[in-house]
Chains A and B, each alone.
Chain A
Amino acid sequence: MTVAIKADARSIRRIAISHRLSRWDVRLSPYLYISPFFVLFGLVGLFPLLYTAWVSVHDWNLIGGQGDFVGVDNYVTVLSQPYFWTSLRNTFSIFLLSSVPQVLLAIGIAAFLDYNLRAKTLWRMGVLLPYVVAPVAVALIFSNMFGDRFGLINEILGGLGIDPIRWHVDIIPSHLAIATMVNFRWTGYNALIFLAAMQAVPRDYYEAAIIDGANRLRTFWSITIPLLRPVIIFVIITSTIGGLQIFDEPRMFDTAGQGGANRQWQTLTLYIYELGWGQRNFGRASAVAWLLFLIILVIAVLNFVITRRIAGSTERRIRTKGTR
């Protein structure tokens, strides 16, 4: 009998242990599963970004490494450089030239894709084709087409009796050429995002409007566009964050890669590269990186506030009612 009791006690203890193990399993596993993301993101994402601020207040050479603490000197120097201001101007100019037409064009294309087409998938794939061409490749192709002397675009303009445009010399033309590369790659992609949102609009909204005598154009303006607003804002936010960091296209627009002889198309990221790896001045490069980060942060927060304001109710309506 005592033996049996002992055996019972042992098995009870074993169950208790496995219970305790299981409780720890339940409690700890979730943290274990999310920890790789947080650890790695902290190491290669967040830490470098925050450490940029530390580097920016030091003398810091690419080869020599960390030097003296210099306070805001790097910022003062950078802000007094004309190239900083031209880069800032170029960045925003290229960004506006690429984002505004791109969103409008994408909405337009999406509206056509939203028709009840034959071979739907084929058309949708067609507009997405440029997305698989790397920005560097896009830039090389368009740099050729926008050639100043024998470029395709100038040949066509010549055929129309227009004087050749100096795409690689003048400021606005160079921005137009670079914006065209961005638009080429992303318009179709964004059109598909808008298309998805359009298809989520409950079709009976249109029925009601048509019964009230609205035509297709009118329903587009009064129903589709307002319901699309949250998606439009989403696209604008993502293209702002990406667009303000643009590097590949202006880097590849000519061979020197410095944004033109007078930095006509140098963007802030190109400027960071020139400071850090051209002049080997990591302190100043970090100062510009940190400034650009703050600019993006401010714009993102502004976007967010505006989104909250405008989108709130409309978004909820799409979410609850819409399926594909």
Chain B
Amino acid sequence: MSRKNQIGGHDRRPGLWVYGILIAVLLGSAFPIWWSFLIGSQDAAAINKNGMMWVPGGNFIANAATVIDSIPFWTALLNSIIVSTSVAISVVAFSTLAGYAFAKLKFRGREGLLIFVIATMAVPTQLGIVPLFIVMSRLGWTGSLWAVIAPGMVTAFGVFWMTQYLRDALPDELIEAVRMDGASMIRSFWHVGLPAARPAAAMLALFTFIGTWTNFFWPFIVLDPGNPTLPVALQQLQAAFYVDYSLVLAGVVLSIIPLILVFVFLGRQLVAGIMQGAVKG
């Protein structure tokens, strides 16, 4: 379909009012973040005395320092990095392997197993927290990062995503060709499957990373206060300073900086990933 021969307002440049509405939407999505900086940069006394204010105060650095002193901020940051990276790598590795098999290899039970994978995407595994907690205590893993990493190591969505992608992106002839040259199954996966999977794998890694980074429920249950991830540390901050919102929101600002940076550099890929997933899924 060429986009050249469109008519009927779908190719004409829209009027200014369309941009006006979109600007309003953008302000809506940016405002709360701006607001947290606005409050996070005041000192508590000023908020209580003056009420509303629209100019950032000069206290952000001081507030941030207090926050870093009062919760294990650096530990939390490091933990979030470790957990999100490990989960992303693991999900991508296992999903690519399984996706390659489902998309490109013939084996008995393939269709049935794939349907099972798709069906499990709808299963709310989060509701298994009680037994999961029992298992983790038996293993002695409560409080350790393993307890957070292990349950995230595979996702049905990841397998489905890679299967969908590889089905179209990797021509069967290519696999046959390397097989004819005498490559073993794992070699042909390594030399043909993996390179073809790279774009979708990168996307999956990105979304898994963000999903794990922002996850709260299970880490909150299983981790100790002294060894939290960032969202768990934010909860501690709220418990400690609930009367002083300048500190709480300074902590919020600190905690969202890493993903905002990810967004600045990879936001374009995020948009593309969501839109691809929508068409395929």
Contacts and interface: CB of A to CB of B under 8 A. Distances in A.
A15 to B, nearest CB: 12
A152 B220 CA distance: 29
Nearest to A188: B29
A48 B255 contact: no
Main secondary structure, interface of B, reads helix
A144 B267 contact: no
Interface in A109-132: 109, 112-118, 121, 123-132
Interface of A: 22, 25-27, 29-31, 33-34, 36-38, 40-41, 44-52, 54-55, 65, 109, 112-118, 121, 123-138, 140-142, 144-145, 150, 152, 155, 184, 188-189, 192-197, 199-200, 202-204, 206-207, 209-210, 216, 219, 231, 234, 237, 241, 244-245, 247-248, 251-252, 254-255, 257, 269, 272-273, 276-277, 282, 285-286, 289-290, 292-293, 296, 300, 322-324
B46 interface: no
A206 B274 contact: no
B234 interface: yes
Contacts of B113: 34, 38
Given A132-B262, A255-B238, A29 B274 contact: no
Given A141-B32, A192-B275, A132 B263 contact: yes
A202 B113 CA distance: 34
A33 B210 CA distance: 26
Given A27-B107, A192-B271, A141 B131 contact: no
B130 A33 contact: no
B127 A49 contact: yes
B46 to A, nearest CB: 12
B242 A112 contact: no
B98 A34 contact: yes
A137 B231 CA distance: 7
A251 B36 CA distance: 19
A114 B263 CA distance: 22
B122 A47 contact: no
Given A45-B120, A255-B239, A137 B130 contact: no
A282 B39 CA distance: 40
Contact of B10 (A33, A116, A269): A116
B130 A282 contact: yes
A37 B255 contact: no
Given A49-B128, A125-B267, A245-B124, A112 B260 contact: no
A36 B8 contact: no
A152 B51 CA distance: 9
A199 B275 CA distance: 10
Nearest to A247: B217
A102 to B, nearest CB: 13
Contacts of B234: 134, 136-137, 140
Contact of A37 (B98, B131, B270): B98
